[in-house]
Amino acid sequence: MTRHKGIILLYFNFLSILFLTTNCERSAEIHIADLRCEYRKEPLGIDERHPRFSWIMESEERDQTQSAYRILVATNPGILSKEEGDMWDSGKTISDRSIQVEYSGKELESNTTYYWKVMIWDKADRPSPWSTLSSWSMGLLDKSNWQAKWIGIEYGEKGSRIPDDPLLTPRGTPPGTPSPIVRKTFQLGSEAKRAMVYATALGLYELHINGEKVGDHLLAPEWTDYSKRVQYQTYDVTDMLKPGENTIAAVLGDGWYIGTFGQWGDDARRGKNYGSLERKFLLQLDIQTVDGASTEVLSDESWRGYYDGPVRFADMFLGETIDARKNIPGWDSPGFDDSKWKEVEIFPDPGIELVAQMHEPIRVIDTLTPVIITEPEPGVYIFDLGQNITGWCRMVVNEPEGTKILLRHGERLTEEGGLYTQNLRRAKQEDIFITSGERDELFEPRFTNHGFQYVEISGLSRKPELSMIAGIAISSDPEQTGSFECSNKELNQLWSNILWTQKDNQHGIPTDCPQRDERMGWMGDALVFAQTAIYNMNMAPFYSKWIQDIRDAQTAEGKFADFAPHPNWDKPHLNAPGWADAGLVVPYRLYQNYDDLRVLEKQYQSAKKFIDFVHKNNADLVWKNHVGNQYGDWLNGDLIDSDDYPEEGAAMPKEVFATAYFAYSTRILAEMANLLGNNSDAEKYLMLADSIRQAFIDSFVSGDGKITGDTQAGYAIALDFNLLPDNLKPLALNHLLRRISEYDGRLSTGFHSTVIMMKELTSWGHTGIAYDLLESHELPSWLYPMDQGATTIWERWDGWVEGRGFQDIGMNSFNHYSFGSVAEWMYRTILGINLDEDHPGYKQFTVKPEPGGSLTWAKGEYHSIHGLIRCEWRIEDDHFIMGLTIPVNTRAIVHIPSDFPESITEGGLEAIHAPGVQSFGIDENQGIFEIQSGTYQFESKYSLRHNK
Ligand code: BGC
């Protein structure tokens, strides 16, 4: 935040206190907090012309709701303090809407900061005090706002490579070219009042001003389909500038634009993914000074460039080589003599869209100290970070000039204690540091990333200490919204492993894995994990960006890709059932969880085109044509390699799987149409969804409820997608239970069906079986990998098996989140926090904890878009005791498990007489209540024997 803004906030707080003290008698006991614009607090540089506002309310009173709101938006805080808004005054608006309220004032302008505040009226029409002030700024809204030119400078002859120097590049890789550096010095007549940088690159950039790095973004501008669009980032640099000489400078890297990615990302493809080997940079710095002058600093021919700096090579998969002998002291500071540097090159405008980055950037999210060092061979040291992460190592060394230190990164150790790297395939993950001989030299890469828990270091002249390195974990960094804890420590570790796996696979896009030569935005994986991801973090901005990537990857005829971004390779991956469907499922999850209709609006035509394409090519409504690579229920039990596990019987036949998804997605499309008010489409696609369901029944379901393939997966998916007639559902359920017992109580489900089976077991009253699966240590299970030391979720249940060793090196990631989708079940069933589909965004929701297994207590939170939901229960002395918090302006239907539902109390009173509580129903095992906002404490007679 700028100094300027800080002063204003102080001033404003003073005003609020004044206001509070003079108006408390008329105020509602409500505190407004957490003001958000487009899901984020005080975002910079957004390009949404009608941003949406959300706020939450806190109150000590129960049963509080909002009956009206008033929003003021102004171009400066002084106007707001007079209770005026020169951009927008919504007036008192009768509405209980406190999320996704669309800005409806005057047209917003580029490169401008706006300030806003909100007050509400409670359910008794009592006004609240004004909220504290918040703000956001607009980015550059029109192409014409961009006056800067794309610049860069390449090694030697344009695009030529440095000589093949084995010292400088990872073993066996073709040499790259060093990272170019560009800089400019400019004068400022007086102090800056407001200074905003808008910057981007084709490649990567790290920006510095006056000797310091700007912002905390890493790997900016992150990955999009660069043939169509690139994101720019906005930084407030007011405090970094000073009167007199200033320097702005950037180092450029290869990133996804030039470097290797994907399983086909062999080294020879460097530079071919987006058709260029040239790193290009674009920057616009807009400065207003206190003397009223405006200055613009633009990337253009006035910049100087240098091509022989310390970053000799950097590739996302292969690693980074830094030669400290090439360091250039002062390169990013005023006073540096760049007269020997060259003029930069000017590149033609690539003609792609420049869009604002609206989601949280990739940042350092954790710094880990290693837990142990081993020395498997003399002079070769392996550091164990104790946690599988994505990122790199920071290292401080004292070695003579020219010492070459090699860092190799891997997820596991071999049985002999060496570094296991075979599963990395072509992603070498090797960093090389070459010392200049200075004391305490610090090395840290910035244009690569690795998936690893272990780092092997060689080339040191003496035995290192643990403190020599730190593991730097990096991730796209949405706020954490969920937490989970219970009496079984193993489940707590499992939940932590799932959260880490999410963090490790969020780098501008949701990836399948962070280590081997793949790391793609595989859509099937994201589809199954999205709900878990949303419980864990505020995912809306991140997924909204990725849904645009999905649209960019769609073919003209309507096929969705299997991963997004989907560069235009000779080997396209398109339209696989269960992968392509993420183009409907993920936007729909955003709608359900955040009441975000806009994401549906934006996606609607693409979704429709996809369903129409599948329909047109599968007239009998069994999806068998245009199924792409048809992965099916990926990594189901048939792929487990273990003597005491059935070799077949787990894989859902491909057509059954595909047709189930066709029906499911078509129903989502009908619902999208309905929500968007397109009634004729809603009717048309509802009829189509019903017909596909009928085709599913006719083709695959027999009169005894058996489904072709007779798999756990098939029954679970058919029940969950509502594909069966009511009379066959109990029969299908019995087949599901039979198939579980035929696997000796073990699961045989794959990526798609695992969490679905858990949910179906619970919804049909077999939560005990679900707990048995969750707490099992037998292969395949969640706890089996943990017994083998897993700190993240494995791609395969049997990634490593005692006595057998590692699975197929061709596909064996130890950091793949799909099976971690069970966290959704843990939130829903153990904590009991469930969406109500008829009331999106948790306006109303269900709390239905189901104790079971070994658990005697559980607690957790979910920070919904409407506010904090907290649930905590324990079983003690034959009582079930539950604490619960329901956000203001929402209500919940709460199920309290009980032996004698009539005896349930809340806060010591008979529950139905407690304030804010109304009876909603009762059966022999539970009392059901509708409760309004507030904090509650329920108690009921309940015995532990119910568990199991
Ligand atoms: C990825 C998966 C992905 C799959 C498609 C794999 O190589 O790692 O997670 O969904 O390909 O089957």
Confidence of residue 169 (pLDDT cuts 50, 70, 90): low
User: pLDDT tens digits, residue range 882-891?
Assistant: 999 999 999 9
Helices (H), ranges, 158-317 = 255-258
Q: Which residues line ligand 1 (CB under 6 A)?
A: 512-513, 518, 522, 524-525, 631, 634, 811, 816
The C-alpha angle 157, 158, 159, rounded to 5 degrees, equals: 105
Pair of tokens at residue 451:
């998936």
Residue 166 has pLDDT above 60, yes or no: no
pLDDT of residue 174: 53
Q: Which residue type sits at 207?
A: L
Beta strands in 609-726, from DSSP E residues, in sequence order: none
Distance between CA atoms of 20 and 116, rounded to whole angstroms? 18
Residue 680 has pLDDT above 60, yes or no: yes
Q: How far apart are the first and last CA of the chain?
A: 53
Quote the ligand 1 centre to 787 CA distance (angstroms).
Answer: 25
Q: Which residues pair with residue 538 across a beta bridge?
A: none
Quote the ligand 1 centre to 751 CA distance (angstroms).
Answer: 10
Q: What average pLDDT is seen over the chain? A: 93
Distance between CA atoms of 231 and 368, rounded to whole angstroms? 30
User: What is the position in ligand 1's atom list of the atom closest to the CA of 635?
Assistant: 12
- Look at the block and give the residue holding tokens 């003079």: 22
Residue 921 has pLDDT above 90, yes or no: no
One of 345, 399, 795, 906 is an active-site residue; which one? 795
Distance between CA atoms of 191 and 116, rounded to whole angstroms? 26
pLDDT of residue 11: 36
User: Is residue 518 flagged as an active site residue?
Assistant: yes
3-state secondary structure 225-264: CCCCEEEEEEEECHHHCCCEEEEEEEEEECHHHHCCCCCC
- Look at the block and give the residue holding tokens 């970053």: 311
Pair of tokens at residue 635:
């990594």
pLDDT of residue 262: 79
pTM: 0.95
Quote the ligand 1 centre to 576 CA distance (angstroms).
Answer: 11
275-282: average pLDDT: 90
User: pLDDT tens digits, residue range 41-75?
Assistant: 999 999 999 999 999 999 999 999 999 999 999 99
Which H or E element spans position 765?
none
Task: Output helix, strand, coil percentages for the chain, rounded to the nearest 5.
Answer: 25, 30, 45
Characterise 816 by phi-psi region: left (phi > 0), alpha (psi -120 to 50), beta (else). beta
Distance between CA atoms of 940 and 684, rounded to whole angstroms? 48
Confidence of residue 924 (pLDDT cuts 50, 70, 90): confident
- Look at the block and give the residue holding tokens 């491909």: 654
- Asked if 537 and 481 count as a contact pair (C-beta separation under 8 A), the reply is yes
pLDDT of residue 571: 74
Give Cα separations from 214 to 111, 294, 332 (angstroms). 18, 21, 11
Helices (H), ranges, 701-753 = 712-720, 729-742
pLDDT of residue 5: 36
Quote the ligand 1 centre to 693 CA distance (angstroms).
Answer: 27
Question: In this structure, how many other beta carbons lie within 10 angstroms of the beta carbon of residue 912?
Answer: 16
- Taking CA atoms only, the protein residue closest to ligand 1 atom 11 is 522
Distance between CA atoms of 835 and 162, rounded to whole angstroms? 57
User: pLDDT tens digits, residue range 28-40?
Assistant: 789 999 999 999 9
Distance between CA atoms of 558 and 552, rounded to whole angstroms? 11
791-814: average pLDDT: 95
Distance between CA atoms of 4 and 865, rounded to whole angstroms? 30
Distance between CA atoms of 322 and 343, rounded to whole angstroms? 24
Confidence of residue 326 (pLDDT cuts 50, 70, 90): very high
Which H or E element spans position 627?
none
Higher-pLDDT residue of 427 and 479 is: 479
Q: Which residues contact 859 (CB under 8 A, 6 or more apart)?
A: 485, 486, 831, 870, 871, 872, 873
Distance between CA atoms of 14 and 132, rounded to whole angstroms? 10
170-193: average pLDDT: 83
User: pLDDT tens digits, residue range 432-469?
Assistant: 999 999 999 999 999 999 999 999 999 999 999 999 99
Q: Which of 506, 457, 499 is nearest to 477 (CA)?
A: 506
HSE of 187, CA atoms in CB hemisphere, 13 A: 2
Query: 820-854: string of b/e by CB count within 10 Å (b at 16+)?
Result: bbbbbbbbbbbbbbbbbeeebbbbbbbbbbbbbbe
Residue 319 has pLDDT above 90, yes or no: yes
- Give the sign of the dihedral formed by CA 611, CA 617, CA 622, CA 626: negative
- Asked if 125 and 321 count as a contact pair (C-beta separation under 8 A), the reply is no
Beta strands in 815-901, from DSSP E residues, in sequence order: 833-835, 844-847, 857-864, 867-876, 879-897
344-356: average pLDDT: 96
298-316: average pLDDT: 94
One of 206, 345, 485, 518 is an active-site residue; which one? 518
123-145: average pLDDT: 97
User: pLDDT tens digits, residue range 814-865?
Assistant: 999 999 999 999 999 999 999 999 999 999 999 999 999 999 999 999 999 9
pLDDT of residue 4: 40
- Asked if 693 and 663 count as a contact pair (C-beta separation under 8 A), the reply is yes
Q: Which of 729, 731, 757 is nearest to 743 (CA)?
A: 757
Say if residue 901 is exposed, middle or buried (CB neighbours under 10 Å; 0-12, 13-18, 19+).
buried
Quote the percentage of the chain above a pLDDT of 70. 93
Which H or E element spans position 546?
helix 540-553
Quote the ligand 1 centre to 450 CA distance (angstroms).
Answer: 18
User: Is residue 48 flagged as an active site residue?
Assistant: no
Q: Which residues contact 519 (CB under 8 A, 6 or more apart)?
A: 261, 262, 316, 317, 427, 507, 511, 512, 513
738-747: average pLDDT: 98
Quote the ligand 1 centre to 69 CA distance (angstroms).
Answer: 47
906-924: average pLDDT: 92
Beta strands in 59-166, from DSSP E residues, in sequence order: 66-74, 88-89, 93-94, 101-102, 113-122, 134-137, 150-152
Q: Which of 478, 579, 525 is nearest to 820 (CA)?
A: 525
Residue 693 has pLDDT above 70, yes or no: yes
Higher-pLDDT residue of 14 and 485 is: 485
Residue 552 has pLDDT above 90, yes or no: yes
- Give the sign of the dihedral formed by CA 234, CA 237, CA 243, CA 244: negative
Residue 338 has pLDDT above 80, yes or no: yes
- Asked if 234 and 198 count as a contact pair (C-beta separation under 8 A), the reply is yes
User: pLDDT tens digits, residue range 705-726?
Assistant: 999 999 999 999 999 999 999 9
Number of residues assigned to the chain: 948
Residue 267 has pLDDT above 60, yes or no: no
Q: Which residue among 261, 518, 574 is best mutated to probe the pocket of ligand 1, counting the most ligand atoms within 8 A of its Cβ?
A: 518
Q: Which residue among 424, 501, 511, 512 is best mutated to probe the pocket of ligand 1, counting the most ligand atoms within 8 A of its Cβ?
A: 512
Among 119-123, 567-571, 923-927, whose mean pLDDT is lowest? 567-571
Distance between CA atoms of 196 and 584, rounded to whole angstroms? 37
Residue 9 has pLDDT above 50, yes or no: no
Compute the chain's Rg from CA coordinates. 29
Pair of tokens at residue 117:
């505040």
Residue 158 has pLDDT above 70, yes or no: no
pLDDT of residue 638: 98
Question: In this structure, how many other beta carbons lie within 10 angstroms of the beta carbon of residue 897?
Answer: 22
User: What is the position in ligand 1's atom list of the atom closest to the CA of 813?
Assistant: 8
Quote the ligand 1 centre to 792 CA distance (angstroms).
Answer: 17
3-state secondary structure 886-906: EEEEEEEEEEEECCCHHHCEE
- Asked if 747 and 778 count as a contact pair (C-beta separation under 8 A), the reply is no
366-388: average pLDDT: 98
DSSP character at residue 621: S
Quote the ligand 1 centre to 244 CA distance (angstroms).
Answer: 55
DSSP character at residue 522: B
Q: Which residues contact 622 (CB under 8 A, 6 or more apart)?
A: 655, 658, 659, 695, 696, 699
